[in-house]
A and B are shown apart, each in its own frame.
Chain A
């Protein structure tokens, strides 16, 4: 990881943390006095880490980011747990989406390097894992499988839209 990459990721860490805590966490839509739609932007940090980042580092950084968000949203361990699981699943998703001739050594997970279609699939799978684990930890029981499914189905498009906008913003920046 070069110095520039380090700084850009650090900046992304801070910006996504602030965006999630101060903007996206305020969005919660639902009916009957219960919220079903949540917006998640911070999984983008895990998604945009360089492809060859050591796996323990990815997991450790995502744990830190999740824990930071938890501190501000008073759900200690919830975001951290979900994002840690997402970080663990990232290499598996990357392997399943590998192009025919493998990843270029210098490739970064971006639209410029791997294309819009690949990026959309990548983000969808990553967010799907993240949302499932998050809502599982939130309800904390497999008995609420229906609730988990509804929440995931509603939150996935919203989160995908948000992260897509962020990707376009960040890619224009770097």
Chain B
């Protein structure tokens, strides 16, 4: 501090000069029109240039904050596009008829997510336990089958597709012979029906229907047409190759089938 004071005192001439010169420049700029105009012009030219340079150099200091702002804005904008809305309107098909009591209801749903194509295809629909979607309910689409509900959350449900190696669906011909529909994991357009007795006459292009024995799908929904039959020697059964009516991989909509009698039928199954 003492040294600093000595430096200031030793160069007191310089400091006096600088202070008084600054006072003079101030007086010149504030009391003379020509110089004031030149000063304003110079300041606007060089001032904006320096500000621009400075801002360019210091722009990176602000990037984190700018990013945060942009992220929030993006989130707000994305939340407003139609696809991000959850459709809350309920489209349930239900018919009031005094002669036929309603057994199955259909709940319209959209497919919101699909697994990449593989041997174990699943998909997600936008209807869940809030609308009585339950594990084990079937999903039909485009005049064919889509799959079976496996997991349920309040607003969404996971569907095990027909094209899943673990799928087992009861299916049969219109002459009441039936077997088990499964997929061999190879061709997404064809499924196989096993355990069909080999004495049942089957012709190509026969229609395969659901049997309704598993309480998953209603009775008599068409699934596909028979392409070929292959009797398995020694087992008394034959395998049918069935061409599906729909393409489960490209389904965008599905109707969740709800069996209103399921509880009653389940009670029967538990009695021995």
CB within 8 Å of B: which residues of A? 54-56, 58-60, 63, 66, 70, 75-78, 80-81, 84-85, 87-88, 91, 137-141
Q: In the complex, how many angstroms separate the beta carbon of A101 from the nearest chain B beta carbon? A: 25
The answer to whether B24 touches A56, judged by C-beta atoms less than 8 angstroms apart, is no
Write out the residue numbers on chain A whose beta carbons fall within 8 Å of the beta carbon of B27: 70, 76-77, 80-81
- Asked if A75 meets B32 with Cβ closer than 8 Å, knowing A55-B16, A59-B13, A81-B21, the reply is yes
A80: which of B24, B30, B32, B38 is its contact (CB, 8 Å)?
B24
Q: Are A84 and B25 neighbours in the complex by a CB distance under 8 Å? A: no
Q: Which of A58, A87, A88 has its CB near the most chain B CB atoms (within 10 A)?
A: A88
Bound CA–CA A31/B102 (angstroms): 112
Nearest Cβ distance between residue B111 and chain A, in whole angstroms? 73
Closest to A79 in B: B24
Bound Cα distance A55, B20 (Å): 13
CB-based contact B12/A76 at 8 Å: no
- Quick one: which of A58, A59, A140 contacts B39, CB cutoff 8 A? A140
Residue B48 at the chain A interface, CB threshold 8 Å: no
Asked whether B26 is an interface residue with its Cβ less than 8 Å from the other chain, the reply is yes
- B183-208, CB < 8 A from A: none
Beta-carbon nearest neighbor of A82 in chain B? B24
Interface pair B21/A84, CB less than 8 Å apart: yes
Residues 114-131 of B at the A interface (beta carbon under 8 Å): none
The reply to whether the CB of B14 lies closer than 8 angstroms to some CB of chain A is yes
Other A-B pairs, 8, CB within 8 Å; known A88-B13, A138-B35: A59-B20, A63-B23, A66-B24, A77-B27, A78-B24, A84-B20, A139-B38, A140-B28
Can you list 30 pairs linking A and B with CB atoms under 8 Å apart? A54-B13, A55-B12, A55-B13, A58-B13, A59-B13, A59-B16, A59-B17, A66-B24, A76-B30, A76-B31, A77-B24, A77-B26, A77-B32, A78-B24, A80-B20, A80-B23, A80-B27, A81-B24, A81-B25, A84-B24, A85-B17, A87-B17, A88-B14, A88-B17, A91-B13, A139-B38, A140-B34, A140-B35, A141-B38, A141-B42
Per-position binary interface string of chain B over residues 5-24, scored 1 when its CB falls under 8 Å from any chain A CB and 0 otherwise: 00000001111110011011
| A56 touching B34 in the complex, CB below 8 Å, given contacts A77-B28, A84-B21 | no
- B16/A60 in contact, CB under 8 A: yes
How far is A84 from B24 in the complex, measured between Cα atoms in Å? 9
**Complex Cα gap A76–B35 (Å):** 11
Cβ contact within 8 Å between B21 and A85: yes
Chain B residue nearest in CB terms to A75 = B32
- Docked Cα-Cα span, A84 to B20, in Å, equals 7
Closest Cβ of chain B to A59, distance in Å, is 5
With a cutoff of 8 Å between Cβ atoms, the chain A residues found around residue B28 in the complex are 75-78, 81, 137, 140
What residues of chain B lie closer than 8 Å to A140, measured between beta carbons? 28, 34-35, 38-39
CA distance A139 to B41 in the complex (A): 13
Instruction: Give the residues in chain B near A60, CB-CB below 8 Å.
Output: 16, 20
Q: How far is the CB of B184 from chain A (nearest CB, A)?
A: 88
Select from chain A the residue with minimum beta-carbon distance to B9.
A56
Residues of A within 8 A of B23 (CB): 63, 77, 80
Q: Which residues of B contact A138 (CB under 8 A)?
A: 35
Chain B residue at minimal CB-CB distance from A90: B13
Distance from A35 Cβ to chain B, minimum over Cβ atoms (Å): 13
Cα distance, A75 to B42, chains bound together (Å): 20
Q: A141–B38 Cα gap in the complex (Å)?
A: 7
Residue of B14, B25, B30, B32 with most partner-chain A CB within 10 A: B32
Whether the pair B13, A77 counts as a contact (CB closer than 8 A) is no
Nearest CB of chain A from residue B219's CB, rounded to whole Å:
98
Q: Which residues of B contact A139 (CB under 8 A)?
A: 38
Knowing A140-B38, A140-B39, A141-B38, the reply to whether A78 touches B17 (Cβ < 8 A) is: no
User: Restricting to B161-194, which residues have a CB under 8 Å from any CB of A?
Assistant: none
